[in-house]
Amino acid sequence: MTSTVTDGTALSDAELDDLRETVRSVCADAGGTAAVRRLPEQSPGIDAKLWDTLGGQVGLAALGLPEAAGGIGGLAEIAAVCEELGRTLAPVPLLSSTVLAGQVLAGCGTAERALAELAEGKVHALAVAAPDGVWRPDAVPVAVTWRGGVPLLDGTAPFVLDGADAEALVVAAAGVDGPDLFLADPREPGVTVRRVPTLDLSRGQAVVSFSRARARPLTAGGEGADIVSRALDVALVALAAEQLGGAQAALDMTVAHVRERTQFGRAIGGFQAIKHTCADMLLQVEAARSAVVRAVRAADSPELPESLAEAAAVAQAWCGEAFVFVAAECVQLHGGMGFTWEHDAHLYFRRAQSDAVLLGGAAHHRERLAGLLGW
């Protein structure tokens, strides 16, 4: 299966399997979820060493980017890698930099240098979310004014993934013609980046404020709205694949536990109530897998351009809730140990709860789906 979301060189099925195995092996060598625990509890961010290996040496920083920027693969490759990263909650900026910022930059057509730097592993962060956490072209929190032909940004962008670790910011700003996109340096005067505490210990967020901050224009005439919308459809599928990987890991962890844990002389997995709960967890995981596969195939659909948008909305509406359900049951079925800091169950529960509202909750995506289908 190949993808036409971008024009990067697609991988064959065998190469895709090799890529999965490589990512899984690197994450295992990094200690799996131990990489999350190595981060400061009060300021989650990026494991720079792990990202140097995955992003630079393996080449994931260029995943799904245009071939001219050294990119490789499309949505199928992005989804496969995100599923593997979701299994261990790997604290790397693939979603924030490569997918979110990368897809936006690729859509601009005027950011060749920024794309090349991103493809080499330089972290970019995307600042587009409205105050309610979703992308809405009519509620862009940053505004642009022009002075002497120079764009100046003003406003505060919330929910900037990995913003405190970014070396460059891709910003949507509202102008007279609508939202346009700009490239800003977080170290420049007028830009303030504040890392914020998060429930998810494996992914950092920041609030970025602009006060007459200089930036480089990437689009004009309000073209930014469509570019961000298209990029977010890819990101929604990538996030759904991460959620699938996390849910599968939580299910595997639970099944292993109920097979080994005994009560009254027998494994608790033999009790009917436990069996039913595990079956419900499996159903959620497999339905989530189907939603991700369907969304990846939609990228190659010869049908209407809305096919990917519709499939992405379905995938996110389903996978977010599925991960929350599986992660919560994982904690419960581990009993008292599932609630302890030492066990990994809470790490998956934290990621699930955070991801469920990261790019808009299930209700938001169902409402969007209804609009796309004309209901």
> Residue 2 domain-assigned?
no
Q: Are residues 136 and 258 in the same domain?
A: no
- Same domain as 365, residue 256: yes
**Chain segment 123-145, per-residue pLDDT in tens:** 999 999 998 889 999 999 999 99
Give the mean pLDDT of 311-337: 96
Residues 249 and 363 in one domain: yes
**Spatial separation of the C-alpha atoms in residues 153 and 172, rounded to whole Å:** 10
Please give the backbone phi and psi of residue 160, each rounded to the nearest 5 degrees, phi first: -90, 105
Same structural domain, 55 and 132 = no
User: In CATH, what number is assigned to the domain containing residue 106?
Assistant: 1.10.540.10
Residue 305 pLDDT exceeds 70: no
DSSP readout, 123-146? -EEEE---TTSS--GGG-SEEEEE
Residues 233-252, mean pLDDT to the nearest whole number: 98
| pLDDT (0 to 100) of residue 4 | 38
Per-residue model confidence (pLDDT) at position 303: 59
Tell me the C-alpha distance between 188 and 182, whole Å: 14
Q: Which amino acid is at 126?
A: L
Sign of the Cα torsion 279, 313, 182, 188 reads negative
Q: What share of residues in the chain are helix, strand, coil (percent, to 5)?
A: 55, 15, 30
Judgement on whether residues 219 and 299 belong to the same structural domain of the protein: no
pLDDT digits (tens, 9 = 90+) for 83-121: 999 999 999 999 999 999 999 999 998 899 999 999 999
Give the domain range for residue 319: 225-373
CATH code assigned at 142: 2.40.110.10
The reply to whether 345 falls in a domain is: yes
Mean pLDDT value of segment 193-198: 94
- End residue of a domain, out of 167, 200, 224: 224
Query: Which of these three, 224, 250, 278, is where a domain ends?
Result: 224
* Strand pairing category for 205-214 and 216-217: unpaired
67 lies in some domain: yes
d(CA 318, CA 288) in angstroms, rounded, equals 6
**Do 236 and 353 fall into the same domain?**
yes
Residue 219: inside a domain, yes or no? Answer: yes
123, 140, 173 - which closes a domain: 123
Domain count of the fold of the chain: 3
